[in-house]
A and B are shown apart, each in its own frame.
Chain A
Amino acid sequence: MLRWSGWFVGGVALAVMPWLVGAAFPAQQRYILHILVFTGLFAALALSYDLVVGHVGSLSLAHPAFFGIGAYAAALLATRAGWPFLAGLTAALVCAGLAALLIGVPAFRLAEHSFAIGTLGFALVTHVVVTNWVEFTRGPLCVTGIPRPVIGVGALSLRITTVPHYYWLALTALALVALLYRGLTTFRLGRAFNAVRDDEALAATAGINPLKYRMLSFVIGAALAGGIGALYAHYITVLCPEELTIALTVNLLVILFLGGVGSLRGVVLGAVLFTALPEILRVAPTWRLVIYGLLLLLMVIKWPEGLDAALRRAGRRPRA
C-alpha cells in the first residue's frame, strides 16, 4: 500500500514540477526546467545505453552515432522536407535502428575488444561523414531552424512551444523508455539477456542464441537513442556535428557507472547527479571533463556497481 502511494505522490510531483519550481524559484523557473529537460533526455538515453551495455554486456561505443543519426534524420526531414513531428520521430527511430542492424551484423562477429573498437570506428566514421558531407548535413554550418514539435493536425494539435511543454514531453518520453526498459529486462527476456552477459557459452547450452539477443538489445537501444536524438534536435533547434563525439559516450558511461549499471533506479539516479554536477561544479568545461574522467576512473575501479547499489548495501547493513 505504502509503495503505491509513494509512486503516486512521486508521479504527481513530477507532473506538477513546473508550477512547483515556479513557486519556489520564480526567477530561475525557465533555467531549472531547462536543466530538467536535459536530465530527462539524458536519463532516457542512458537507459537505452544500459540495455546494451548493462544487461547484455556488449560494450558498444557507437551510441553517439545512433543518437546523431536520429537527430539529423528528424532535423533534416523537418527543415528540408517539412515532415510533421511524429513522422520525423518515427523516421529517426527507424533510421537509427536500421543503422544498428547493418553495423551489428559485422560487428557481432568480433570478439570483445574488437567489438568495442569496431563500434568506436563506426562512431568516428559517422562523425567524419556528418562533418564533411556538407551538401546533405550542412556540416559545421549546422542544421538551423528546426521547428518546435507539433503533434496532431489542425484544431486537434498540440503545440510544444514553451520550456514547461518540453519538460512534459521529455518526462513522457522518459516514462515510455523506462516502461520499455522494464519490460525488456525482467522475467524471461531479462534473464536471457543477463545469461548472455554472464556466460555466452553456457547460455548457448541453454538453447539461447546469443547473437539474436545481442542484436535485439543493440537495435532497440539504437532506435531509442535515435528517437531521443530527434527530441533533442527539436529542443535545441540548431544541430551541429559536435553532438556526435566520444564525449557523449564518456558522459553516458559516467552516468551508468555513477548511478549503477543494469538498474533502472541506478541509471536515473546517475542521470540526475550527472546533470546536477555542472551546477555544483561551476568550473570550466575542460576541467569538468577532467573531473568526469577521474570520477569514472575511480568509480569503475572502486565501485563498479554504482552508487545505487552502494546505498542499498548501506541501507541493508543495520539489520543484525
Chain B
Amino acid sequence: MEDLLEQTIHGLTLGSMYAMVATGLALMFGVVRLVNFAHGEFFMLGAYTFWFAFQELDLPYPVAGLVAAAAMAAFGGVYQRTIIRAILERSWHVQLIATLATSIVLTNLAVIVFGTQAKEVPTRLSATVFQAGGLRIAWQRLLVLGASVVIFAALHWFVKRTKIGKAMRAMSQNREACAVVGVDVQRVALVTFALGGLLAGGAAALVTPLFNIFPDMGALLTLKAFAAVIVGGFGYVHGAIAASFIIGVSESLAAGYISYAYKDAIAFVIMIAVLLWRPQGLFGRRIGI
C-alpha cells in the first residue's frame, strides 16, 4: 500500500514538472498560436543554469532557483524578439521546422559546452526523506508539489487580474481584434514567452535535484508536454495541467508495475488513446470552420 502511495506521489511530482512545462506551451499556443518545439530546451537550459548557480557558484538553493527562473525568463524574451518574431506570421509548417531547428541547435550546443556526461545536483532536501509509517518520500518531492500549487495559483491571479494577463486572454480569443483596439501584440507575446521561460526555469530548479541533467532531456520533455497539451485540448491551459498530472501518475505507476523500460511510451499511448476517442482532447470543444 505504501508502495502504491509512493509511486503515486512520485507520479504527482512528475506531473508537476510536466504541468509547468506544458502550461508554458499551452500559453504560447493559446496567445500567439505558435507551436514551440524548442520548449523542452528551455527546461534543459534552466537545469544547467541552476546547476551552474548552485554547484559551481555555490549560491544557496533558493537563490540559485530564482537565478535559473529569471535567466530563463530573459532567454524566453530574447527568443521571442529574435526567432519568434521572424516566424510569427508564417505558416505552421515554417514555425514547426524553425523551432525544431532551434531545438537541435540548443541541444547540440549544450553537448559542446557541458559534455554528454549526466550531471547530478543533489540538494539537502533531495537527500533527506520524510517518513510516515512505511512511507518514505524525499522532502524535495513535497517541495515540488507545494511549490507548483503556489505557482499555479500565482499564474491564475496573473492571468485573471493583471492588465497584461487580460490582454493575453483577449489575444488568445481574437488576435486581429486586439491589434485593432490597440493592444501591443508584440509586448504581450514577449511577456508570454518570458512567462513560459520562467515556468520552465522554475520547474527545472525544483525538479532537477531529483533527476539527472543531460543535454538530450529537452526532447522527450517537449513531446510529453505536447502530449499533455493535446490530451487536455489544444491551447486550453487547465486541460493541459490536468492532463499533465494524469500522464505523470500513469507513467510512474507504469514504470513501477509494468515496465521501467517502456515508461516513456506511456504518454503517447495515452495521447493516441484519447485522440482516437475524442480528437479535440479531454477538455477541448469541437469548433467548426
Interface residues of A (CB under 8 A from B): 57, 59, 106, 109-110, 112-114, 116-118, 120-122, 124-125, 128-129, 132, 201, 246, 250, 253, 257, 286-287, 289-290, 292-294, 296-297, 300-301, 304
Contact = CB atoms under 8 A, between A and B. Distances in A.
A300 B261 CA distance: 36
A112 B264 contact: no
A246 B40 CA distance: 15
Contacts of B271: 118, 121
Nearest to A122: B268
B112 A290 contact: yes
B94 A300 contact: yes
B105 A57 contact: no
Given A124-B223, A132-B262, A300-B94, A113 B35 contact: yes
B49 to A, nearest CB: 19
B104 A292 contact: yes
B97 interface: yes
A122 to B, nearest CB: 7
A62 to B, nearest CB: 12
A294 B289 contact: no
A124 B105 contact: no
Interface of B: 29, 35, 83, 86-87, 90, 92-94, 96-98, 100-105, 108-109, 111-112, 219-220, 223, 226-227, 230, 234, 259, 261-262, 264-265, 267-269, 271-272, 275-276, 279, 289
A109 to B, nearest CB: 5
Contacts of A301: 86-87, 90, 94, 98
A182 B275 CA distance: 35
Contact of B261 (A132, A201, A289): A132
Nearest to A197: B93
B223 to A, nearest CB: 6
A298 to B, nearest CB: 9
A112 B223 contact: no
Contact of B104 (A120, A293, A300): A293
Given A293-B104, A297-B83, 11 more contacts: A57-B93, A106-B275, A109-B279, A117-B226, A118-B275, A120-B223, A124-B264, A286-B111, A294-B101, A296-B97, A301-B87
A124 B262 CA distance: 11
A297 B102 contact: yes
8 contacts: A57-B93, A109-B276, A118-B272, A122-B272, A124-B220, A125-B269, A129-B262, A304-B94
**Residue from B86, B105, B109, B269 having most chain A Cβ neighbours under 10 A:** B105
A112 to B, nearest CB: 6
A170 B264 CA distance: 36
Nearest to B29: A113
B275 A114 contact: yes
A136 to B, nearest CB: 13
A214 B124 CA distance: 55
B261 A59 contact: no
Contacts of A297: 83, 98, 101-102, 105
B262 to A, nearest CB: 6
Contact of B289 (A57, A201, A289): A201
A117 B227 contact: yes
**6 tightest Cβ-Cβ pairs between the two chains A and B:** A293-B105, A293-B104, A121-B268, A296-B101, A297-B101, A132-B261
A121 B223 contact: yes
User: From DSSP, what is the main secondary structure of chain B's interface residues?
Assistant: helix
Contact of A289 (B97, B108, B234, B275): B108
B268 A124 contact: yes
Contacts of A132: 259, 261-262
Contacts of A290: 104-105, 108-109, 112
Contacts of A292: 104
Nearest to B289: A201
Nearest to B267: A121
B170 to A, nearest CB: 22
Given A118-B271, A121-B268, A128-B262, A113 B102 contact: no
A117 B264 CA distance: 15
A250 B101 contact: yes
A97 B150 CA distance: 49
A125 B219 contact: no
A57 B97 CA distance: 13
Given A106-B276, A110-B275, A293-B104, A121 B227 contact: yes
Nearest to A296: B101
B86 A116 contact: no
Contacts of B93: 57, 59
B33 to A, nearest CB: 10
Contacts of A296: 97-98, 100-101, 104
Given A113-B35, A124-B264, A293 B275 contact: no
B265 A129 contact: yes
Contacts of A106: 272, 275-276
Nearest to A114: B230
Nearest to B234: A114
A201 B29 CA distance: 23
Contact of A246 (B105, B219, B275): B219
Contacts of A201: 289
A171 to B, nearest CB: 30
A117 B112 contact: no
A67 to B, nearest CB: 18
Contact of A112 (B92, B103, B219, B259): B92
A287 B275 contact: no
